Amino acid sequence: MDAERAHALADAETSGPTQPVSTVNVADSRALFDNFVTQPHAAFHESILPPKGTYTVQDHPVAVEGGEISVRSLVPVVEDANETFPVLVFIHGGGMCLGGIELDDYALRGWCVRHKISIVNVGYRLAPENPFPTAINDCHITLQWVVSNASILKADLSKGFIVGGHSAGAYVSAVLAHIARDDPFFEGRRLTGQLLREPTVCRYQAYPESLKAKFRSIEENKDVPPVTKDQLDRLRAWYNAPPTDPRSSPLLYPSHEGLPRAYIQASQLDVLRDDGLVYAEVLKEAGVEVKMDLYPGVGHGWYYNDPTSAASARAREGVEEALEWLLGRRQS
């Protein structure tokens, strides 16, 4: 294990939660996630926010089936008021049950300014109150909203139309890439990139026989924090998605041809490591252009819990380089 990460985990043992994972309810899980994930990540990125006046922030109501969600737009401010930008639709992690748009808000503000890209941060509805496929539907509608409201985002989709996220957000992004590929609404304004940070792409109950031997991390890393197999199972039970439905396990879509280029991050000690590694192989076999980074000695989402470490800095650099690659501004 990475030395800095091991030290951080040792410190957390003395101050972290003591309840067995099986006894933690939804409300307590959300409070723990806020304390140990959202707050350290937000505090770190708040300390390096770009100057005021270099971007705008606006929350927008988006009508969805059975209600309304809020999405937050971040738009660069540049000297030429008529300049347009590529757009990234970002979907937060949290196992479909935890977190919200505040989780990545400050980090995304930095991306917006540094990469001159408009960003839409999606406040999709959470399970178990809103189980599968509510979040998928919310995010699909948001993609359509972005297309229909490109002008208020100062977006030019021909310059780049990316969907991405971390963990559960990366899973939803992988699903949306398939949905948008097949949805006639997006004809002439297709997605151009996928940003998949530590994605989950197949429930272990549904691993294809031909690939099952490659999914070793689900057992090898089942007890490695900050996300263990038991925790994963608890969140998935709340989400309540059928494992064999491709909208639950996007690896199971019958075809991956025609998907946009994809950047995938994976972590050596992550229980979901092999989801990323296998998905990269499958996409490449389908003719999709893929860039892959594997980070040694760290578990799932370590850069949220421990943002000041050297390993976290490398991961941030990797994803920002990948953004430039996804936008066609940088070679792989």
Asked if residues 55 and 127 have their Cβ atoms less than 8 Å apart, the reply is: no
Predicted confidence at residue 18, as pLDDT, reads 44
Residue with more model confidence, 7 or 169: 169
Residue with more model confidence, 182 or 19: 182
HEC string of 241-301 equals CCCCCCCCCHHHCCCCCCCCEEEEEEECCCCCHHHHHHHHHHHHHCCCCEEEEEECCCCCC
Q: What is the per-residue pLDDT across 205-254, written as a single tens digit (0 to 9) for each?
A: 999 999 999 999 999 999 999 999 999 999 999 999 999 999 999 999 99
For residue 312, indicate whether it is catalytic: no
Kindly state the average pLDDT of the residues 146-174: 98
Q: How far apart are CA 316 and CA 302, in angstroms?
A: 11
Say whether pLDDT at 13 is over 60: no
- Catalytic residue, chosen from 300, 306, 309, 312, is 300
Say whether pLDDT at 323 is over 50: yes
Q: Tell me the pLDDT of the chain averaged across its residues.
A: 94
Predicted confidence at residue 151, as pLDDT, reads 97
- Catalytic residue, chosen from 167, 249, 267, 312, is 167
Predicted confidence at residue 212, as pLDDT, reads 98
Predicted confidence at residue 330, as pLDDT, reads 84
Radius of gyration of the chain (CA): 19
Q: What is the per-residue pLDDT across 245-268, written as a single tens digit (0 to 9) for each?
A: 999 999 999 999 999 999 999 999
Q: Which residues contact 124 (CB under 8 A, 6 or more apart)?
A: 69, 91, 134, 135, 138, 139, 142, 172
Placement of tokens 């294809």 in the chain: 208
Q: How confident is the model at residue 15 (pLDDT cuts 50, 70, 90)?
A: very low
Kindly state the average pLDDT of the residues 196-204: 98
| Percent of the chain whose pLDDT exceeds 90 | 92
Question: So where are the chain's domains?
Answer: 3-8+22-326
Measured between its terminal Cα atoms, the distance across the chain in Å is: 28
- Catalytic residue, chosen from 2, 105, 270, 306, is 270
Tokens read off for 66: 């059975």
CATH topology of domain 3-8+22-326: Rossmann fold (3.40.50)
Say whether pLDDT at 154 is over 50: yes
Predicted confidence at residue 4, as pLDDT, reads 60
For residue 300, indicate whether it is catalytic: yes
Asked if residues 72 and 121 have their Cβ atoms less than 8 Å apart, the reply is: yes
10 Å CB burial of residue 65 (0-12, 13-18, 19+) is exposed
Q: How far lies 114's CA from each of 56, 81, 109, 189, 323, in Å?
A: 14, 17, 9, 24, 10
Q: What is the per-residue pLDDT across 101-139, written as a single tens digit (0 to 9) for each?
A: 999 999 999 999 999 999 999 999 999 999 999 999 999
Predicted confidence at residue 19, as pLDDT, reads 46
Q: How far apart are CA 263 and CA 44, in angstroms?
A: 24
Kindly state the average pLDDT of the residues 157-165: 98
Which residue spans within 65-214 are E strands per DSSP? 67-76, 87-91, 118-123, 161-166, 193-197
Phi, psi of 230 (to 5 degrees): -60, -45
Task: Read off the pTM.
Answer: 0.94
For residue 60, indicate whether it is catalytic: no
Q: What is the per-residue pLDDT across 76-105, written as a single tens digit (0 to 9) for each?
A: 999 999 999 999 999 999 999 999 999 999
